[in-house]
């Protein structure tokens, strides 16, 4: 019997209770018990996975972060850095905000760069500061503030290493 003939037979028998497409009631003995999602038995018995039907609300739970909280958070982040990837990820996150990190955060980042032995990233930190500040005077203030740590760690500036290049 072809599939079209089968559908015709099923459509004709629509009024009868033994129709091909009519669902039959399941006896209570054959029903699977409802288990909580996340248990091992629920994964195999009910096919329930750990998905939720409602999305968590992330934006309403947190207030605005102050500059002091930002500074403390990133100081802790840089103090815990163990590899170059983590250092660069934290730097990208810190410089992504619409503010210039404080000198204490930059100091923690420079010490982290030294700890993971990444000289190029240490030089790039100062390039990031130069890009974030509003004018040259602010950049010079940062350089003056961070001069002791630069001398201690031996970090040169790009403009000192390549004096003939112009900023573009």
pLDDT digits 0-9 by tens, 109-165: 999 999 999 999 999 999 999 999 999 999 999 999 999 999 999 998 888 888 877
What's the chain's average pLDDT?
Answer: 78
Residue 79 within any structural domain of the chain: yes
Our count of domains for the chain comes to 1
The alpha-helical segments, DSSP class H, found in the chain are: 3-12, 40-45, 67-79, 84-96, 103-115, 119-132, 136-145, 147-153, 158-161
94/77 Cα distance (integer angstroms): 10
Spacing of C-alpha 137 from chain mean position: 34
Half-sphere exposure of 136 (CA within 13 A, CB side): 1
Segment 95-110 shows an average pLDDT of 93
Residue 32 within any structural domain of the chain: no
Q: What percent of the chain has pLDDT over 70?
A: 61
Residue 108 within any structural domain of the chain: yes
pLDDT of residue 28: 58
pLDDT of residue 57: 54
Residue 128 within any structural domain of the chain: yes
pLDDT of residue 80: 92
Residue 111 within any structural domain of the chain: yes
For residue 77, give the 3-state DSSP assignment: helix
Q: What is the pLDDT of residues 63-78, one digit of tens each?
A: 788 889 999 999 999 9
Range of the domain at 121: 67-161
Residue 32: pLDDT band (50, 70, 90) is: low
Check: CB of residue 87 under 8 Å from CB of residue 112: yes
Residue 15 within any structural domain of the chain: no
CATH number, domain of 95, equals 1.25.40.40
């Amino acid at each position: 019997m072809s599939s079209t003939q089968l559908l015709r037979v099923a459509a004709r028998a629509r009024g009868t209770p033994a129709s091909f497409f009519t669902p039959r009631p399941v006896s209570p003995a054959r029903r699977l018990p409802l288990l909580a999602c996340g248990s091992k038995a629920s994964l195999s018995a009910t096919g329930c996975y750990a998905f939720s039907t409602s999305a968590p609300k992330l934006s309403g739970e947190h207030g605005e972060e102050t500059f002091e909280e930002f500074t403390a958070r990133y100081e802790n982040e840089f103090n815990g850095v163990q590899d170059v990837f983590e250092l660069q990820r934290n730097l990208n996150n810190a410089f992504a905000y619409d503010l210039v990190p404080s000198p204490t955060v930059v100091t923690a980042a420079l010490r982290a760069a030294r700890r993971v032995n990444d000289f190029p990233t240490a030089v790039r930190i100062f390039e990031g500061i130069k890009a974030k500040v509003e004018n040259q005077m602010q950049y010079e203030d940062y350089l003056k503030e961070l001069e002791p740590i630069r001398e201690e760690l031996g970090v040169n500036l790009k403009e000192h290493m390549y004096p003939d290049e112009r900023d573009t």
